[in-house]
Amino acid sequence: MSQSSTAPISGSAVEVPSIPFREIAPWAVFFGLLAILAIFFISADQGAVSIPSGNAIHEWVHDSRHLLGYPCH
């Protein structure tokens, strides 16, 4: 079996595809909001000012809090 590979001819440029900003913007906003939501739940102290009551969310993200340096106990 022979293996053949083609090397680019010197002097030829490789075209890099460009993605328009209009196609990236909705995804960037979506993932940005998802990140903000995740940070909210990780940093939620479940104290006096807490949207969800109880300490379930605090316990679910307890290790993440330590990993990110949030004080919790």
| Residue 27, token pair as written in the block | 């995804």
**Structure confidence at residue 35 (pLDDT):** 92
Q: What is the pLDDT of residues 5-62, one digit of tens each?
A: 666 566 678 888 888 889 999 999 999 999 988 887 777 665 555 666 667 776 777 7
Residues 58, 22: Cα–Cα separation, whole Å: 37
Say if CB 20 and CB 46 are below 8 A apart.
no
Fill in the DSSP letter of residue 68. Answer: H
**Structure confidence at residue 33 (pLDDT):** 96
Terminal CA-to-CA distance of the chain, rounded, Å?
66
Residue ranges per structural domain of the chain: 21-68
Nearest 5°: the CA angle 56, 50, 32 is: 85
